Homo-oligomer: A and B are copies of this chain.
Amino acid sequence: MLTGLQAIVLAAGKSSRFKTKRTKLVEKICGQEMVLYTTKLLESLAIPTAVVVGYQKDLVTAAITHAHDERVAFIEQEEQRGTGHAIICSQHHWTQDHILILNGDVPLLTARIIEELYQKHCASQAAISFVVAHNSEPLHSYGRVITADGRIEIVEAKEFTGDAHEHCCINAGVYIASRAFLEQSISNITLNEKAQEFYITDLVKIASEKQLPVCTTVAPFDRIRGVNTFQELWAVEQITRAELIKYWMSEGIRFTAAQNVHIDLGVTIGSGSVIGCGAHLLGNTRIGTDCTVHAFSIIESSIVGDNCTIESHSIVKRSILGNDVQVGPFAHLCEQVTAEDHSIIGNFVEVKRSRIGEYTKAKHLSYIGDTTVGSQVNIGAGTIVCNYDGSTKHHTVIADQAYIGSNNSIVAPVSIGKGAFTAAGSVITDDVPDLALAIARARQVNKHLYAERMQSKRAHVSTKEHTETDATSFICAIRTDSEIESLE
């Protein structure tokens, strides 16, 4: 534990370079809001934390409170007048001997870097210590650390005019200051006239000028990447994603095209599972062992049992799958679906707020909503459950071993009994008792040689010219039943 240390997280800035009119701090990286990478890291180190909020503070505090309840304090910075000003605003929160100050937009920072900085800071009894990294590209987001004549200074990026190769040591924006030094020096931070901002980096200069010990620790550049633009966000997310995938590879998960997969931080996957090209595993999804998620499928906030197959181009959201369940291809489990063991949901099938029993199958072109389907039920191809009624949604119950014929319309609320079945093409509006057959369709009539009457019309249609318009013309011509009768 890092005794004597408290943290101030700077999260009040305007995110203007994102150009989205939204604070960047709640942009999600692998499913987690950016600022939570920092607050959760601090919580894992048991460092008491206060977050300085300002711009769109409601969004930022909501995200943090959702993750940490009341365990993180908030400090309001009403005007955004720079990092130095943010620290000034935080004064009345200083209770520990040392204050860790860091930005809320450095999501790849590790516990080890903070521990090392604190250890060095204490060992050298520094007034202020900070993390540096090395990068010789002309970056616009990092101050440059200039050392000369025993003095150390941080030149803000926008004021830096030197050669980035020569001055490749950059400021990561992670500081530990002794509270005593802070209390002494805070009032000496001066307004930068050009930027009309107070810079926290002044503190380093102040300490250096007073010849107080200033200490630094070096971190890899990748770990201290800040996120000021969408390009930087992309880089950080790529790193996070790659680390997640490497981790799951080491846990026995095969990725057929690892570079094209998206996995959120909260996801777990059982060993022996295979994740296809382009698959998205989102939110707190849990995938069991020996599952296969085929290409281009998206699973969000769902639980998938063992030995399940999610065929390609499928979507499963906020749903629960048992073991040995097959889904897809082209299936859509919309929300609140429970698919029990050995059930099958096939292609062009949408299921919503429904329970699908064991060994039940709905394999083709169906819509099942607000329905409780028993076990060993077969839902025929083209079945539509009509589930809405006025202000409340109505429920359909299909009991065990029932057989729903193809192309049925099931008008809710309705019950189909155990072992009952319905004929193909039926519109089911009344309950069907157990073991009964329901039929609701017209009898077929063949009108003989009807087509001959159009023969002359058809004669001139050659194979090559045969187009869709011809193809359907004769059916559509018979638009009303009375027309048909008139032909007889």
B-chain residues with CB within 8 Å of residue A252 when the two chains form the complex: 18-20, 230
Asked whether A210 is an interface residue with its Cβ less than 8 Å from the other chain, the reply is no
Asked whether A380 is an interface residue with its Cβ less than 8 Å from the other chain, the reply is yes
A358 and B259 CA atoms in complex are apart in Å by 41
B-chain residues with CB within 8 Å of residue A478 when the two chains form the complex: 423, 437, 439
B-chain residues with CB within 8 Å of residue A364 when the two chains form the complex: 350, 367, 384
Asked whether A151 is an interface residue with its Cβ less than 8 Å from the other chain, the reply is no
Known contacts A257-B260, A298-B295, A365-B384: does B451 contact A390 (CB below 8 Å)? Answer: no
Distance in angstroms from A219 CB to nearest chain B CB is 21
**Which of A125-133, A155-163, A179-187, A428-436 is found at the contact surface with chain B?**
A428-436
Please tell me if the beta carbons of A359 and B441 are within 8 angstroms of each other in the complex.
Answer: no
B-chain residues with CB within 8 Å of residue A196 when the two chains form the complex: none
Asked whether A286 is an interface residue with its Cβ less than 8 Å from the other chain, the reply is no
B-chain residues with CB within 8 Å of residue A249 when the two chains form the complex: 229-231, 234
A464 and B478 CA atoms in complex are apart in Å by 40
A21 and B384 CA atoms in complex are apart in Å by 42
Please tell me if the beta carbons of B392 and A469 are within 8 angstroms of each other in the complex.
Answer: yes
Residues from 292 to 329 in A contacting B, C-beta threshold 8 Å: 295-296, 298, 312-313, 315, 329
Asked whether A1 is an interface residue with its Cβ less than 8 Å from the other chain, the reply is no
B-chain residues with CB within 8 Å of residue A259 when the two chains form the complex: 259
Distance in angstroms from A55 CB to nearest chain B CB is 16
Choose one: B350, B442, B484; the contact of A442 (CB below 8 Å): B442
A407 and B365 CA atoms in complex are apart in Å by 12
Asked whether A361 is an interface residue with its Cβ less than 8 Å from the other chain, the reply is yes
Please tell me if the beta carbons of A472 and B430 are within 8 angstroms of each other in the complex.
Answer: no
Task: Report how many residues on chain A are interfacial, defined by Cβ distance under 8 Å.
Answer: 128
Asked whether A26 is an interface residue with its Cβ less than 8 Å from the other chain, the reply is no
A233 and B409 CA atoms in complex are apart in Å by 49
Residues of A within 8 A of B (CB): 18-22, 27, 229-231, 233-234, 237, 246, 249-260, 262, 271-272, 277-278, 280, 295-296, 298, 312-313, 315, 329-330, 332, 347-348, 350, 358-359, 361, 363-367, 376-378, 380-382, 384-386, 388-394, 401, 403, 405-407, 409, 411-414, 419-430, 432-433, 435-452, 458, 463, 466, 468-481, 484, 487
User: What are 19 A-B pairs with beta-carbon distances under 8 A?
Assistant: A230-B249, A231-B246, A231-B249, A257-B260, A260-B278, A295-B296, A381-B386, A382-B384, A388-B472, A389-B477, A390-B469, A391-B469, A403-B474, A409-B424, A421-B451, A422-B475, A430-B480, A437-B484, A439-B478
